[in-house]
Amino acid sequence: MNGPQDLGGAMGFGPVAPETNEPLFHAPWEERALGLTLCAGALGRWSLDESRHARESLPPAVYYNASYYEIWIRALEVLLTRHDLISELELETGVAAAQSPDPRRLRPEAVPAALARGTPCDRPLDGAPRFAVGQRVRAKNAHPRTHTRLPRYLAGHTGVIETVHGGFVLPDANAHGLGERPQRLYTVVFDGREVWGEDGEPGLTISADLWEGYLDQA
Protein backbone atom coordinates (compact mmCIF):
# COMPACT_ATOMS: atom_id res chain seq x y z
CA MET A 1 0.00 0.00 0.00
CA ASN A 2 1.09 3.57 -0.59
CA GLY A 3 1.00 4.43 3.09
CA PRO A 4 2.30 7.54 4.88
CA GLN A 5 5.58 5.77 5.67
CA ASP A 6 6.55 5.41 1.98
CA LEU A 7 8.26 8.78 1.60
CA GLY A 8 11.25 7.88 -0.60
CA GLY A 9 11.90 10.80 -2.92
CA ALA A 10 8.99 12.87 -1.61
CA MET A 11 9.68 16.60 -1.21
CA GLY A 12 8.60 19.02 1.48
CA PHE A 13 9.39 16.90 4.55
CA GLY A 14 12.79 18.43 5.25
CA PRO A 15 16.23 16.81 5.36
CA VAL A 16 17.16 13.65 7.23
CA ALA A 17 19.25 14.95 10.14
CA PRO A 18 20.74 12.13 12.26
CA GLU A 19 21.59 13.07 15.84
CA THR A 20 25.20 12.83 16.95
CA ASN A 21 25.47 10.15 19.67
CA GLU A 22 21.70 9.72 19.57
CA PRO A 23 20.39 7.96 22.71
CA LEU A 24 18.39 4.76 22.44
CA PHE A 25 15.44 6.50 24.08
CA HIS A 26 14.66 10.19 24.34
CA ALA A 27 12.27 9.83 27.28
CA PRO A 28 11.42 7.08 29.82
CA TRP A 29 8.01 6.45 28.22
CA GLU A 30 9.73 5.32 25.03
CA GLU A 31 11.36 2.44 26.90
CA ARG A 32 7.94 1.43 28.14
CA ALA A 33 6.49 1.67 24.65
CA LEU A 34 9.12 -0.77 23.37
CA GLY A 35 8.49 -3.10 26.31
CA LEU A 36 4.72 -3.08 25.83
CA THR A 37 5.03 -3.79 22.12
CA LEU A 38 7.48 -6.63 22.72
CA CYS A 39 5.38 -8.23 25.46
CA ALA A 40 2.15 -7.94 23.48
CA GLY A 41 3.82 -9.48 20.42
CA ALA A 42 5.03 -12.41 22.53
CA LEU A 43 1.38 -13.42 23.04
CA GLY A 44 1.49 -14.75 19.49
CA ARG A 45 -1.73 -13.15 18.28
CA TRP A 46 -0.15 -11.35 15.32
CA SER A 47 2.95 -11.52 13.17
CA LEU A 48 5.77 -9.03 12.84
CA ASP A 49 4.39 -8.13 9.41
CA GLU A 50 0.91 -7.43 10.75
CA SER A 51 2.47 -5.25 13.43
CA ARG A 52 4.40 -3.27 10.81
CA HIS A 53 1.31 -2.99 8.61
CA ALA A 54 -0.68 -1.59 11.54
CA ARG A 55 1.89 1.19 11.92
CA GLU A 56 1.93 1.93 8.21
CA SER A 57 -1.89 2.00 8.05
CA LEU A 58 -2.26 4.87 10.51
CA PRO A 59 -3.92 7.95 8.96
CA PRO A 60 -1.32 10.35 7.50
CA ALA A 61 -2.41 13.16 9.84
CA VAL A 62 -1.65 10.88 12.80
CA TYR A 63 1.53 9.33 11.38
CA TYR A 64 3.21 12.60 10.37
CA ASN A 65 2.49 14.29 13.70
CA ALA A 66 3.66 11.41 15.88
CA SER A 67 7.12 10.53 17.11
CA TYR A 68 8.67 7.14 16.38
CA TYR A 69 7.45 5.37 19.52
CA GLU A 70 4.12 7.15 19.51
CA ILE A 71 3.53 5.47 16.14
CA TRP A 72 4.30 2.13 17.81
CA ILE A 73 1.81 2.79 20.61
CA ARG A 74 -0.91 3.96 18.23
CA ALA A 75 -0.49 0.77 16.19
CA LEU A 76 -0.42 -1.38 19.33
CA GLU A 77 -3.82 0.03 20.32
CA VAL A 78 -5.15 -1.07 16.93
CA LEU A 79 -3.72 -4.58 17.30
CA LEU A 80 -4.92 -5.08 20.87
CA THR A 81 -8.50 -4.11 20.02
CA ARG A 82 -8.49 -5.98 16.69
CA HIS A 83 -7.54 -9.22 18.45
CA ASP A 84 -9.93 -8.70 21.38
CA LEU A 85 -7.19 -8.37 23.97
CA ILE A 86 -8.65 -5.09 25.21
CA SER A 87 -12.03 -3.45 24.66
CA GLU A 88 -12.75 0.01 23.32
CA LEU A 89 -13.98 0.93 26.80
CA GLU A 90 -10.71 -0.17 28.39
CA LEU A 91 -8.78 1.83 25.83
CA GLU A 92 -10.91 4.91 26.39
CA THR A 93 -10.88 4.81 30.20
CA GLY A 94 -7.41 3.34 30.75
CA VAL A 95 -8.90 0.88 33.25
CA ALA A 96 -8.28 -2.81 32.57
CA ALA A 97 -10.98 -5.39 33.19
CA ALA A 98 -10.10 -8.17 35.61
CA GLN A 99 -8.77 -11.22 33.80
CA SER A 100 -6.42 -14.14 34.31
CA PRO A 101 -2.81 -13.59 33.18
CA ASP A 102 -1.97 -15.12 29.79
CA PRO A 103 0.51 -17.99 30.33
CA ARG A 104 2.42 -16.81 27.23
CA ARG A 105 3.18 -13.42 28.79
CA LEU A 106 6.81 -12.38 28.56
CA ARG A 107 8.42 -12.15 31.97
CA PRO A 108 10.94 -9.34 32.59
CA GLU A 109 13.87 -11.72 32.95
CA ALA A 110 13.14 -13.19 29.51
CA VAL A 111 13.26 -9.86 27.67
CA PRO A 112 17.04 -9.77 26.88
CA ALA A 113 16.92 -13.23 25.31
CA ALA A 114 13.80 -12.34 23.32
CA LEU A 115 15.46 -9.21 21.96
CA ALA A 116 18.64 -11.09 21.08
CA ARG A 117 16.66 -13.86 19.36
CA GLY A 118 14.62 -11.47 17.24
CA THR A 119 12.14 -12.88 14.74
CA PRO A 120 13.99 -15.02 12.16
CA CYS A 121 12.14 -14.89 8.85
CA ASP A 122 14.42 -16.91 6.53
CA ARG A 123 12.82 -20.08 5.15
CA PRO A 124 14.04 -22.95 2.94
CA LEU A 125 12.95 -22.96 -0.70
CA ASP A 126 12.80 -25.58 -3.44
CA GLY A 127 13.82 -24.74 -6.98
CA ALA A 128 16.41 -22.51 -8.59
CA PRO A 129 16.38 -18.71 -8.49
CA ARG A 130 14.44 -17.06 -11.29
CA PHE A 131 17.07 -14.33 -11.71
CA ALA A 132 20.89 -14.30 -11.63
CA VAL A 133 23.55 -11.82 -10.51
CA GLY A 134 24.07 -9.18 -13.17
CA GLN A 135 20.66 -9.66 -14.78
CA ARG A 136 18.53 -6.59 -15.50
CA VAL A 137 15.08 -6.67 -13.94
CA ARG A 138 12.12 -4.35 -13.69
CA ALA A 139 10.21 -3.72 -10.48
CA LYS A 140 6.54 -4.28 -11.22
CA ASN A 141 4.39 -1.18 -11.46
CA ALA A 142 2.16 -2.39 -8.65
CA HIS A 143 0.27 -0.32 -6.09
CA PRO A 144 -1.81 -2.81 -4.05
CA ARG A 145 -4.16 -1.63 -1.33
CA THR A 146 -2.75 -4.35 0.94
CA HIS A 147 0.69 -4.56 2.54
CA THR A 148 3.80 -4.53 0.35
CA ARG A 149 7.51 -3.93 0.86
CA LEU A 150 8.03 -2.61 -2.67
CA PRO A 151 8.78 1.13 -2.38
CA ARG A 152 6.48 3.09 -4.66
CA TYR A 153 9.37 5.19 -6.03
CA LEU A 154 10.92 2.01 -7.50
CA ALA A 155 7.72 0.69 -9.10
CA GLY A 156 8.17 0.39 -12.86
CA HIS A 157 11.93 1.08 -12.82
CA THR A 158 14.79 -1.17 -13.94
CA GLY A 159 17.81 -2.27 -11.96
CA VAL A 160 20.48 -4.97 -11.81
CA ILE A 161 20.56 -8.02 -9.54
CA GLU A 162 23.52 -7.61 -7.18
CA THR A 163 22.90 -10.49 -4.76
CA VAL A 164 20.70 -13.59 -4.79
CA HIS A 165 19.53 -14.46 -1.27
CA GLY A 166 17.57 -17.41 0.05
CA GLY A 167 13.89 -17.65 0.89
CA PHE A 168 12.14 -15.30 3.29
CA VAL A 169 8.59 -14.89 4.59
CA LEU A 170 6.52 -12.82 2.15
CA PRO A 171 5.20 -9.85 4.14
CA ASP A 172 2.43 -9.19 1.62
CA ALA A 173 0.68 -12.40 2.66
CA ASN A 174 1.84 -12.76 6.25
CA ALA A 175 0.59 -9.31 7.27
CA HIS A 176 -2.96 -10.39 6.46
CA GLY A 177 -2.95 -13.84 8.06
CA LEU A 178 -2.59 -15.64 4.72
CA GLY A 179 0.45 -17.69 5.70
CA GLU A 180 4.15 -17.16 5.22
CA ARG A 181 4.33 -18.05 1.49
CA PRO A 182 8.14 -17.61 1.38
CA GLN A 183 9.80 -16.26 -1.74
CA ARG A 184 13.39 -15.71 -2.79
CA LEU A 185 14.87 -12.33 -1.99
CA TYR A 186 17.24 -10.30 -4.20
CA THR A 187 19.31 -7.19 -3.69
CA VAL A 188 18.64 -4.99 -6.73
CA VAL A 189 20.70 -1.87 -7.54
CA PHE A 190 18.97 1.02 -9.34
CA ASP A 191 20.72 3.97 -10.95
CA GLY A 192 19.55 7.27 -9.50
CA ARG A 193 19.00 8.83 -12.93
CA GLU A 194 16.82 5.85 -13.92
CA VAL A 195 14.61 6.45 -10.88
CA TRP A 196 14.62 10.25 -10.56
CA GLY A 197 15.38 11.31 -14.13
CA GLU A 198 17.79 14.08 -15.09
CA ASP A 199 17.22 15.76 -11.72
CA GLY A 200 18.77 12.74 -9.98
CA GLU A 201 22.18 13.10 -8.37
CA PRO A 202 24.93 11.88 -10.76
CA GLY A 203 26.52 8.63 -9.60
CA LEU A 204 23.79 7.92 -7.04
CA THR A 205 22.65 4.30 -6.74
CA ILE A 206 19.86 2.77 -4.69
CA SER A 207 20.01 -0.76 -3.28
CA ALA A 208 16.75 -2.48 -2.38
CA ASP A 209 15.99 -5.98 -1.10
CA LEU A 210 13.02 -7.14 -3.17
CA TRP A 211 11.04 -10.38 -3.24
CA GLU A 212 10.94 -12.38 -6.47
CA GLY A 213 7.25 -11.67 -7.03
CA TYR A 214 8.03 -7.95 -7.24
CA LEU A 215 10.28 -8.41 -10.27
CA ASP A 216 10.03 -9.09 -13.99
CA GLN A 217 12.79 -9.60 -16.52
CA ALA A 218 13.70 -6.25 -18.08
Task: Identify the three-state secondary structure at position 217.
Answer: strand
For residues 78 and 82, give the distance between their C-alpha atoms in angstroms, rounded to a whole number: 6
- Domain locations in the chain? 28-117, 122-217
Those residues whose C-beta lies under 8 Å from the C-beta of residue 102, and which sit 6 or more positions away, are 43
pLDDT band at 131 (very low <50, low <70, confident <90, very high): very high
pTM: 0.88
Residue 185 has pLDDT above 80, yes or no: yes
Q: 122-217 sits in which CATH class?
A: mainly beta
Q: Give the model's pLDDT for residue 100.
A: 67
**Whether 72 contacts 58, CB under 8 Å:** no
Residue 217 predicted with pLDDT over 80: yes
Q: What is the pLDDT of residues 2-51, one digit of tens each?
A: 889 888 878 888 888 899 999 999 999 999 999 889 889 989 999 999 99
Model pLDDT for residues 79-94, shown as the tens digit of each residue: 999 999 999 999 999 8
Task: Give the pLDDT mean for 153-157.
Answer: 95
| pLDDT greater at residue 99 or residue 208 | 208
Q: Which residue in 121, 114, 4 sits closest to 54, CA to CA?
A: 4
b/e code 207-218 from CB counts within 10 Å (16+ = b): ebebbbbbbeee
What average pLDDT score do residues 159-188 get?
97
Q: What is the mean pLDDT of residues 145-167?
A: 96
Lowest mean pLDDT across 51-65, 82-96, 165-179: 82-96
Lowest mean pLDDT among 82-86, 158-162, 180-184: 82-86
Mean pLDDT confidence for 191-206:
91
Does residue 54 contact residue 73 with C-beta atoms inside 8 Å? no
Q: Answer yes or no: same fold for 28-117 and 122-217.
A: no
Helices (H), the chain: 28-41, 48-56, 60-63, 68-82, 88-93, 111-117, 171-174, 192-196
What value does the mean pLDDT of the chain take? 92
User: Would you tell me which CATH number, out of the four given (1.10.10.10, 1.10.472.20, 3.40.50.300, 3.40.50.720), belongs to the domain 28-117?
Assistant: 1.10.472.20
pLDDT at 107: 78
For residues 84 and 109, which has the higher predicted lDDT (pLDDT)? Answer: 84
Cα–Cα distance measured from residue 163 to residue 79, given in angstroms and rounded to the nearest whole number? 35
